[in-house]
Amino acid sequence: MRRFLSNHIPPFNRVLLVESGSRQLFEDLLPGLYEIYGETMRLDLVTCYAGIPKTFREEQGDVYRTGEYQGAAGRTRLYSVLRNNGYSVMGIICSAEPILAKWKWMLVWKVPAKLFILNENGDYFWVDRGQWKTVRHFALYRAGLSGAGAVATLFRLAMFPLTLTYLLLFAAAAHLRRKARA
């Protein structure tokens, strides 16, 4: 992730979008990007879907399908290709759907580009120090640590070691009883 410390928004001349959520979100986003940035923007797409979004212009970008980059060697090859493409901006969908979850965070880590996050409402925000409150709230909300659910989540988190210890002791006692009878 590049340009986290800077509030500067780079030009949209080379954009990577990671389709890590509902396709409808990108189908709604793309026409606006094409209208604003037009022919000066080259937009590439990383997806796990078989087709492409209806509004994606194939003549203005490439499609990278994660199914074609299986295994550690394939993923490394994809990261290398994307890193060398020189993206100025990268957009990912964070819509509480488990689509490409591991891929998108590795791409954020491996591809040096200014990042924006698109949520399920079609809203977006830049990930930089100027937006740290928004980023913090978003992360806490996704982790279940904001609002009324925060207390229950923290309670479950605190109870996990106790529950695990109880279950391990119960299993050990059951196995020991069985061995003693034999």
Band (45; pLDDT cuts 50, 70, 90): very high
pLDDT given at position 13: 87
What is the Cα–Cα distance from 94 to 79, expressed in whole angstroms? Answer: 20
* pLDDT interval class at 4 (50, 70, 90): low
Burial of 44 (0-12, 13-18, 19+ CB in 10 A): buried
Give yes or no for residue 1 having a pLDDT over 60.
Answer: no
**Residue-level pLDDT at 151:** 80
CA distance 165 to 125: 42
What are the angstrom distances between the C-alpha of 130 and each of 11, 94, 123, 142, 144?
18, 19, 17, 20, 23
Work out the average pLDDT over 25-42.
85
On the question of pLDDT at 3 being above 70, the answer is no
Separation of alpha carbons 147 and 144, rounded Å: 8
Which residue type occupies 181? R
The confidence band for 6, taking pLDDT boundaries of 50, 70 and 90, is low
Quote the mean pLDDT of the chain.
Answer: 84
Give the range among 30-34, 90-94, 150-154 with minimum mean pLDDT. Answer: 150-154
* DSSP assignments along 71-135, one per residue: HHHHHHHHHHHHHHT--SEEEEE-SS--SSHHHHHHHHHHS-SEEEEE-TTS-EEE-SGGGHHHH
**What is the structure's pLDDT at 180?**
92
pLDDT above 60 for 161: yes
Report the pLDDT value the prediction gives residue 147, as an integer from 0 to 100: 73
**Tens of pLDDT along 61-119?**
899 999 999 999 999 999 999 999 999 999 888 887 778 878 888 998 999 998 888 87
Query: 119 exposed, middle or buried (CB, 10 Å; 0-12, 13-18, 19+)?
Result: middle
Mean pLDDT of all residues in 148-166: 86
What percentage of the chain has pLDDT greater than the value 90?
30
